[in-house]
A and B are shown apart, each in its own frame.
Chain A
């Protein structure tokens, strides 16, 4: 547990010692939400299919998920940096179980993105949201689960890569469509045909739906909260398993 703790601690310290990262984390969510939400809001207000909600309000849970998605995935770019430097090597030759390495790194990234997601809740009153303590806690759980699963996914993607360009390519190819089809921009109910099937298979959809249900108790959601959270927990476990699988491939090939 100590090795996992120390790797987690390093992620956090590294984060707050780079002031530009801190600024980016705090400012970018607000900018995204206002720019995209306001832009779409005026363009699609009549046909948005989001009921009586203002689009800025409809978009709020999706924006939160996007923040978590980006932070989670991109903090794991540090895996590639650690590999380029000798840092990862020095961890790999230490008597540390691989599980602890994954856990430490993934929890580090999870902490950063979950905290960022929760900071975004400060803007909630402006999106017409008034939260009880219980729902804040439930939102925290959802945000944590989404952060953890996406960070683990980011770790699994980053582990075999040797360049951050390749990482970006994969992220753009798969993860941005994943977010677009998560119900963040348009609701599942309004989608048709194959898009709807993809949206139902997309784990992020359950994150967006769970948040929407918690933030806007009156809004119509496609799944009950409990089943959405169970799906997210399962997704987290699968992603963590995937990350472990990647790391445990010790072979005759060079480790770095």
Chain B
């Protein structure tokens, strides 16, 4: 078993699109007592890939994350990372992965060095090997000069970097991160993502990161979009966006959006989607369509906008509703983010 694992781990280091997937999720279903959190999700992550798991709160991405990080056993289906089954072979799998949780796992009462020292012991590193590795990691995350200071004196961004350092200490081939930028300011957020890209490029680490932020998803090599426990889209951000023909036209209806949509459908023979009091149309040459539609329905359109398709449009196209829909009142944390986004 051990030799098989290391063989697969080596294969995982070779870049290239046709190599063995480092993570393969096969038809994973997870049910809690009353609801189904994952409803048969399958995808693969390739070596040295920055893979994003995008979904609103309640989409099942945290459940999937817990299954991948061996904290929960799926109701059915399989999750395999570097040849180890997350449910059956958790002990070997745990050596292969570095995990960064959304909640803070560094101990604020310990220094940066002590936190990594503690973490190293958990992974069986010790002595001078561990000491050397801690030095490397602290340099990597730019905190070598703060090694002897307690983590409680660090800024949020620096604490996150220590979290990341903890996840990387034992040379994992796969790094799993659950919404790693939660609570970070935009600058620290950008730094973290740049750092993930460096890891992928220089150390060929495969990175799986969950997020509910579109702008973060844009930075991934490939994406899986989850909605209510289902995989609704899988591909590179560019691929996903290119499936939307042309531009996105949004109309704010002055009176009744449903009625307006019906009229537009009848007159221009286009597909329309109604969302709250807005009508959404996908169409090539959006700028030419705007004057036509405004002239055709005087007084019924309050505002109109044309934009290039974004990932949110992919989500709308696949699910028929907005990423943050009104009926899905999430916790206050995501509420805050939602307001920021608007």
Binding site for B on A (CB under 8 A): 2-3, 5-6, 9-10, 13-14, 17-18, 84-87, 89-96, 250-256
Contacts and interface: CB of A to CB of B under 8 A. Distances in A.
A94 B71 CA distance: 11
Given A13-B109, A13-B114, A14-B109, A89 B122 contact: no
Contact of A10 (B70, B73, B102, B118): B118
Interface residues of B, number: 36
A2 B95 contact: no
Contacts of B123: 94-95
Nearest to A15: B109
A95 B117 CA distance: 16
A256 B122 contact: no
B119 interface: yes
Contacts of B69: 93
Which residue of B95, B105, B110, B119 has the most chain A CB atoms within 10 A of its CB atom? B105
Interface string B138-157: 00000000000010000000
B195 interface: no
A14 B107 contact: yes
B302 interface: no
Contacts of B30: 252
Contact of B107 (A10, A94, A254): A10
Nearest to B37: A254
B104 interface: yes
Contacts of B104: 85-87
Given A5-B121, A13-B114, A17-B109, A255 B99 contact: no
Given A10-B107, A85-B104, A86-B103, A93 B71 contact: yes
Contact of A93 (B92, B94, B124): B94
B56 interface: no
Contacts, number: 84
Contact of B121 (A3, A87, A251, A256): A3
Given A89-B105, A94-B94, A10 B71 contact: no
B72 interface: yes
A252 B75 contact: yes
Contacts of A9: 118
B66 interface: yes
B66 A254 contact: yes
B72 A86 contact: no
Contact of A91 (B32, B72, B122, B124): B122
B118 A86 contact: no
Contact of A92 (B71, B97, B102, B118): B71
Interface string B60-86: 000000100111111100000000000
Contacts of A251: 72-73
Interface in B119-142: 119, 121-124, 126
B284 to A, nearest CB: 46
Contact of A87 (B70, B72, B91, B107): B107
B46 interface: no
14 contacts: A2-B126, A6-B122, A13-B114, A87-B105, A87-B106, A93-B71, A93-B94, A94-B119, A94-B122, A96-B122, A252-B73, A252-B74, A254-B72, A255-B71
A3 B118 CA distance: 8
Contacts of B101: 86, 89-90
Given A17-B109, A94-B123, A254-B66, A89 B103 contact: yes
Contacts of A254: 66, 71-72
Contacts of B73: 250-252
B71 A90 contact: no
A6 B107 CA distance: 13
Contacts of A89: 71, 99, 101, 103, 105
Identify the 8 closest CB pairs spanning chains A and B, nearest first. Answer: A86-B103, A86-B105, A6-B121, A90-B105, A94-B122, A86-B101, A95-B94, A255-B71
A252 B92 CA distance: 19
B166 interface: yes
Which residue of B66, B107, B119 has the most chain A CB atoms within 10 A of its CB atom? B107
Contacts of B109: 13-14, 17-18
Contacts of A92: 71
Which residue of A89, A91, A93, A94 has the most chain B CB atoms within 10 A of its CB atom? A93
A86 B103 CA distance: 5
Contacts of B121: 2-3, 5-6
Given A6-B122, A93-B71, A250-B73, A13 B103 contact: no
A205 B208 CA distance: 55
Contact of B99 (A13, A84, A93): A93
Nearest to A250: B73
A254 B70 CA distance: 11
A100 to B, nearest CB: 9
Interface string B229-272: 00000000000000000000000000000000000000000000
A95 B105 contact: no
A6 B66 contact: no
Contacts of B122: 3, 6, 91, 94-96
